[in-house]
Chains A and B, each alone.
Chain A
Amino acid sequence: MFLMEALKKDRGGQVLLGVLLVLVIAVPLLNLLVPEGHALHVPTYTVTLMGKYLTLALLAVAVDLVWGYLGILTLGHAAFFALGGYAMGMYLMRQIGDRGVYGNPLLPDFMVFLNWDELPWFWLGFDQFWFAALMVLLVPGLLAFVFGALAFRSRVSGVYLSIITQALTYALMLAFYRNEMGFGGNNGLTDFKDILGFDLQADATRIGLFIASALALALGYLLCRVLMVSRLGRVCVAVRDAESRARFLGYRVENVKLGVFTVSAMLAGVAGALYVPQVGIINPNEFSPLNSIEVVVWVAVGGRATLYGAVVGALVINYAKSYFTAELPEIWLFALGGLFVLVTLLLPRGITGLLRRKEASA
């Protein structure tokens, strides 16, 4: 009931959820029922690509929640995404069992290669899907909670906060590059075989993952929307626009920031966990500072503080990225940079801002 309430005045959200529903129904049908070679056939490769985009869109929604509504310009959200991804990767690694190159039933290949005798303690439990799923939420959530508690209590804000979030993801990247960490070093985790007993290479599994990604995006969107139409959402906007005023009204600004930041990190973790089985690898590059900055660009291009704008931005830019890196690889980074500059200068409210203005004038 209250979901209806949350979506009542949200045209963008209604459209988004409608499109997701159509995709969830149409894409599997077009992939499975329409014969290959037919004009309407959607190849499995495209299904997986779309699933990947949807997980990135969920990451963008998570960033929009803290940047758009709370004004925290996070340049480290890819860290939470990657941690969620690693948690899922560890589960997938343990599912390989003795089918690895070295055939060790317990140890993943890279540990055998490093001459390790036993599984490190932090790999225990990851053979269970429920445990891995819990860690997908808990690990990013806990890191965000501890990081946020320290940062927000000491009232670090603005560009300083952006810099330390960037440092956070960079530090994690360096740590995960080390073989001794026990996460596969710079090769990361890969060569996955199956998830929940389903073959990862099978069309049906890929379609399942695509549907799961669409569902996660829809639920994540609804969660953020419900949060932001509540009084908490208005408090967030208040904190964003006049933090000290909110304090003098009696709001514990640091608690508001901490709560929303933690929720956002958990969403990013879920996005990462769905991303990994679809791309088939997770390595420390996912922590790279550039990734986090790119997410911010998606949100800016789509339009801040709308949530659906973040989805639009993520999809548009990632499609452009796939296109450019395939056709004109040298140009991609220039195109991305140029796009960011253009959007900032000409479309301060992003692509969706343009549509909203049209609607308002019509």
Chain B
Amino acid sequence: MTVASVFEQILDREHVYPFMQRAQSHHIDVSHQVLLYLEGISVSFDGFKAINDLNLYINDGELRCIIGPNGAGKTTMMDIITGKTRPDTGSAWFGQTINLLDMDEPAIAQAGIGRKFQKPTVFEFLTVAENLELAMEDDRTLWTILRSKLDAEQRDHLDQVLGMIGLADQRLQRAGSLSHGQKQWLEIGMLLMQRPRLLLVDEPVAGMTHQEMDRTAELLISLAGQHSVVVVEHDMDFVRNLAAGDRTVTVLHQGSVLAEGTMDEVQNNDKVVEVYLGE
């Protein structure tokens, strides 16, 4: 900071110093119906622009599918939203009041953003029920983790989620012994236990049978409304299934939004056709 700019700040009547600003509120303000704002985000790794001036808005309660060829920046985008990667430029807001770029992963998770990884990541050594218990929305300070036990309401919630993901019979089984598809489901169940406002779901149906895929689509659609859901997926049939009913689909390409619209609009978009088929 140069001397001149310091003077400028002092003389500027409107200038608000950071220490004068109110601490971040935990209340998610969606008075403009938008839950997630990503504006002008760029990030590069060793000169390679993984995300290039990305602008994306997710409405409250929306189910949004994001598609794009490999290397389009889908996973990097999720890394930015969840605090794993810091963008070089741009801003990311959760509702009107919560600045995601000021927060680290646990803080963002506690604010209400849940994430499912591409590769199913569950705690293999723990049982299915224990996995869900750990994911459950609760105070995360050391002292409370040490002392807390499930209360009746939490137990009900856990049973309900177990039923939803169809693992009620496996509740005492080690998560490591589940099939690939079951692990995917367990991870989705862990997301539900968190009761997040926004779910980021990275390739949820990789390695699933058609039957399982249909059930997953049903589940995700049923979640929209109370949660916002962002699904990144390669499988076009699955996306078509999800986006039925004029839901918005976003196409990413080389780190920015190439097209946005309903599935039909996107599929007939010349640029999209070129990217997917032209090369």
Contact = CB atoms under 8 A, between A and B. Distances in A.
Contacts of A242: 121-124
Contacts of A227: 146
Interface in B119-159: 121-126, 130, 133-135, 140-142, 145-149
Contact of B121 (A231, A232, A245, A251): A245
A126 B49 CA distance: 62
A248 B134 contact: no
Interface in A48-103: none
Interface residues of B, number: 30
Nearest to A230: B146
A242 B147 CA distance: 23
Contacts of A20: none
A248 B117 CA distance: 10
The bracket for how many chain A residues form the interface is 20 to 34
Contact of A230 (B109, B115, B145): B145
B140 A234 contact: no
Interface in B63-93: 82, 84
A250 B105 CA distance: 7
Nearest to A238: B123
Contacts of A253: 106
B126 A248 contact: no
B140 A251 contact: yes
Interface in A228-247: 230-232, 234-235, 237-238, 240-242, 244-247
Contact of B106 (A241, A247, A259): A247
Contact of A256 (B117, B126, B142): B142
Contacts of B148: 231
B146 A232 contact: yes
Contacts of B114: 248
Given A238-B123, A245-B121, A245-B123, A231 B146 contact: yes
Nearest to A249: B135
Given A230-B145, A234-B134, A237-B126, A250 B121 contact: no
Given A238-B134, A248-B82, A252-B106, A232 B123 contact: no
A255 interface: yes
Given A241-B124, A252-B140, A231 B115 contact: no
Interface in A290-320: none
Contacts of A231: 133-134, 145-146, 148-149
A241 B140 contact: no
A246 B140 CA distance: 11
B117 A245 contact: yes
Contacts of A237: 123, 125-126
B147 A259 contact: no
Given A234-B130, A238-B123, A242-B123, A248 B109 contact: yes
Interface string B169-206: 00000000000000000000010001000000000000
Nearest to A227: B146
B110 interface: yes
A256 B141 CA distance: 9
A299 B1 CA distance: 54
Contacts of B126: 234, 237-238
A250 B145 contact: no
B65 to A, nearest CB: 21
Interface string A274-299: 00000000000000000000000000
B51 to A, nearest CB: 19
A306 B165 CA distance: 32
A51 B105 CA distance: 46
Q: Which of B106, B107, B121, B124 has the most CB of A within 10 A?
A: B106
Given A247-B105, A247-B109, A232 B145 contact: yes
A72 B13 CA distance: 53
Nearest to A252: B106
A250 B140 contact: yes
Nearest to A245: B121
Nearest to A237: B125
Given A227-B146, A230-B146, A235 B134 contact: yes
A230 B145 CA distance: 8
A241 B126 CA distance: 10
A245 B141 CA distance: 17
Interface of A: 227, 230-232, 234-235, 237-238, 240-242, 244-253, 255-256, 259
8 contacts: A230-B146, A234-B126, A234-B134, A241-B123, A242-B122, A248-B115, A250-B110, A252-B140
Interface of B: 82, 84, 105-107, 109-110, 114-115, 117, 121-126, 130, 133-135, 140-142, 145-149, 190, 194
Given A230-B147, A250-B194, A251-B134, 8 more contacts: A231-B134, A231-B149, A234-B123, A241-B123, A244-B105, A245-B121, A248-B114, A250-B109
Closest 9 interchain pairs by CB? Answer: A250-B109, A250-B110, A247-B105, A232-B146, A245-B121, A238-B123, A232-B145, A250-B106, A252-B106
